[in-house]
Amino acid sequence: MRRNESCEFSQEIFWVVFRCYSRANLPVDAIRSFDKMVDFGITPCVVDVDQLLLALRKRKHMKEVQKFFDRVKDDFALSVKSYNIMVRGWGELGEVVEALKLFDEMLERGFSVDVLAYNSILESFCNAGKMDEAYKLFMKMRSVGPKPDAFTYSIFIHAYCVKDDIHLAFRVLDRMKRYKLVPYVLTYNCIIKKLCKSDKVEDAYQLIDEMINRGVTPDCWSYNTILAFHCDHNDVNLALRLISKMEKNGCLPDRHTYNMVLKMLIKVGRFDRVEKVWESMEDRKFYPSVSTYTVMIHGLCKKKGKLEEACKYFEMMMDEGIPPYGETCELLRNRLIGLGFAEQTWILADKMERSTSCLIQELTNIMRGNKAHVRLRCEEEYSDSDQSLA
């Protein structure tokens, strides 16, 4: 790009490079790219430092990022944000000592420590299970500032849910109400999950109603957590009623919703409801992916007298151009042969071979029982890929 002068270099291009190297678990290369910014006519500033810190922190490369931070902290006018990124990074790993060092360094350098910094150190205490120390720091916030926000309280709620102390989680929730603070959806979801695990599903429903009353819109995760409880207990009517409640409250079901319900309905043999749920998907603008088809095919294959329907859904996948999993092809083939319908495997294989999808065509050999050829081909492709990466 530099040689061809095809575009003007900007900071944002390097931020992308930071993230790419971090995601590839190459933190040293990410730092090297920061050092090379000057070679491309860009003088790094504190914003670039923060972008690199953030990219590395998200991938938990804290040892490397700490070395970089120590190297540049006297060369750039670092901000509270810079320190917050570092404190939170160590806090997420439960490394309280490292987080406290940076927190104290902020105070020594005369930074005005904001609520984000306090939240970061509180999170590090809670992640390490040091709830007493977290509470002492929280009381310090209450007395000298800054004022705790909704996230401050959510840190404690999450920590108490992890410790299976739902009583204390609700106490914190009540305190938030007292101070007119509205919890985040994720905070409510954390409590809902713990209630369902404790078989307190009625309390979970009450929490959904409370969310709506307080102007917080429950998301699919909120409903799916309760739905999972009903599906585990084979409560068909309650599960279907909950999906209707989702729609009524403006939350469209997602693939996890449908996968759970369809799996349960097939398991208990309610095939009449299976058809209704499947047909309702298109009305709700939901189009099944490979995972939903897999639930149908695998479930029907295991049910007596439902192999023909399993084949029907398999052919629907072919028509939609959706490649099935290899194990799905193998399961269907074994069931067909086991029940004396070997010729059907060749019919399906021929249809797969005529597909416009190359991935479906490649799975034809599994349906025909030629797995060795498929494995060889995969190994060759993997080898080619390795060579190209090298």
**In 72-100, which positions are buried (b, 16+ CB within 10 angstroms) versus exposed (e)?**
bbeeeebebbbbbbbbbbbbbbbbbebbb
Average pLDDT (76-101) is: 90
Confirm whether pTM is higher than 0.95.
no
Residue 31 scores a pLDDT above 60: yes
**Average pLDDT over the chain, rounded to an integer:** 91
Q: What percent of the chain has pLDDT over 90?
A: 81
R_g of the chain, CA atoms, integer Å: 27
pLDDT at 285: 83
pLDDT at 381: 33
Average pLDDT (221-250) is: 96
| Between 41 and 5, residue with greater pLDDT | 41
pLDDT at 276: 94
pLDDT at 371: 59
Q: pLDDT digit string (tens) for 265-307?
A: 999 999 999 999 999 998 888 899 999 999 999 999 999 999 9
Nearest Cα to Cα of residue 269 among 216, 316, 305, 294 = 305
